Structure 1
Amino acid sequence: MWLTRFEEDLGLIFARAESILAAIAEEFRSPALNYLDKFHPLKEHRSKNYICYLLPYWLNEEIPIDSDRVHQISTANIMGMLYYHLIDETMDNPSLVSRLQLPLAQLIHSEFIKIYSELFPSSSAFWTYYDKYIGEWAVAVTYENEQDYFQVNSVRIAHRAAPVKLSVAAIMLLSGQETRIPQMEEAVDLVLLTMQMIDDWQDWEKDLIEGSYNCLLSMVQADLHLSDRRPNVEEIKQAVYVEGCLIRYSERAEKHHHSLSQIGSSFPLLYDFHAYLCGQLKEIVQQIEADRSLLQRGGLEFLLSRQLMRGK
């Protein structure tokens, strides 16, 4: 429901994004369009960032504003998504980044700002929220390897994607409901944190090699009381596949879902999306536990057969 209802809208806004990028400087046109295509939600084998472009529609279901403005906000968020992905890639692997990447990011950022400037004059409170979210993002990406956010300040993990909350500020300001922004900021932060937890499960081996911050690695490191180093591959696999640390990892996401329940009736599609995320983690845990149980039974059967053979 949180996705299928909006597939037509997604086709529209990605077409809008394509037309915008098709009009930038010729030297950057093809790279920009190719990069956009990597994130197209209606195509197979693409990276999906649903909350980025669907959050305006989820909010609009409960707080209706002019549909074209919702399209504008979502299109702006696509531009923001591309920009921050390009910047993150530059920060994570500077040696692998082409000279084209930062200029391309700046061109896309200009389009991002242009769309929001059409909706909000410079005097609007929107730009105060813009400064707030960009500041949250900047702190989060700068200090994530110096502070163990997952253990001491987990909201900072969500702040890696803080600009997503521009949807909240935009919809609430346009509808005259600015007082609801703080509650929705907290809700979106919880969803973003759970999303990052899933990404970190999928990317832990890559993050371990690259030295990137990772929630799962943080949990294992804390469990092993390692203060001077990160856990190694064997320790992580032992924690996940033998000691079941992913169960507690999934339970933490469930706690987020319980916290979200207070806004579930007000914004059910955001709540449903988070339920989908929690379900993904549960499925991973269930598969690991099923495999572990099978291996344990197999080992027992092997030992029993050895004993029987010795008896003969």
Structure 2
Amino acid sequence: MVGSNCTQATEFSLTGFTQDPATQVTLFLMFLLVYLFTILGNLGMIVLIRGSPQLHSPMYYFLGNLAFVDLCSSTVITPKMLVDFMSERKGIAYAGCVAQVFIFDLFGMTEGCLLAMMAYDRYVAICHPLVYPIIMSPKCCFQLVTGSYLVGLTNGMGQTISMCNLSFCGSSTVDLFFCDISPLIALATSDTTLSHIILRTSAFLFGVSSSLIVLVSYVPIISTILSISSAKGKHKAFSTCASHLTTVSIFYGTSFFMYLKPSSDSSRGGDKWVAVLYTLVTPMLNPLIYSLRNKEVKEALKRLTQIK
């Protein structure tokens, strides 16, 4: 426990990636382009889905929400990181750090749940096509999406409460480019048992359960696709799942590496680039993955651009 003479940190320093000025400029330009593509891609996907009647279906309803979540989760991280590249002093106030933890964990867990709901949607569409409109009704889709945001909110509040119960009286240097709960727990000078319990419980309860939904959904999906006699039918059925599988693999792979690895494994240098994948690269890639591999999206975009 921390003594009564503890002076609580009011600001944290972020180490970022490098101290070399030339490298910082290069990284600034690279991540600025990534962020611009993220904004354009996800906003474009939202506008396209809302403006195209042929995309008003459950799958694209989930995809529109995924684009919104990617936009928000990237925005809470990237602008501050870009400013730090151009600043000598890379600091963030305690309140700003708390806000980053809350918002990022809210939208991060929401994305995991949305990906699980999208897997369930594909399961119903491929394995039970005759009752698909009944099961995936607008009311059901709304409830599934709302539930995803509520799970994300619960996770964000849990991680924020965890951080607020910690004392930071020693080093205030976070060895990352944003405030994440894992390195903050490592910095704490008070008892971190409760924080570790909240982090692990949240990861297992929400993260692992949502990934199991994806796994359980895709076992019958793959079995059904393989039972289709025509090659054209197999290709069409698999093409509707390929984009989702790609996104799921990147998101869950990097998330589990960051939050479920042993506490003794502290290769923070490698962690930074893994964190780049799920905080910056994945939100940029999602709209590209779904647009380039999706015939309906490409046709809707063509119709929208032809409107005079």
Q: TM-score, normalised by structure 1?
A: 0.30
Which has more radius of gyration? 1
Structure having greater relative contact order (Cα 8 Å, sep ≥ 6): 2
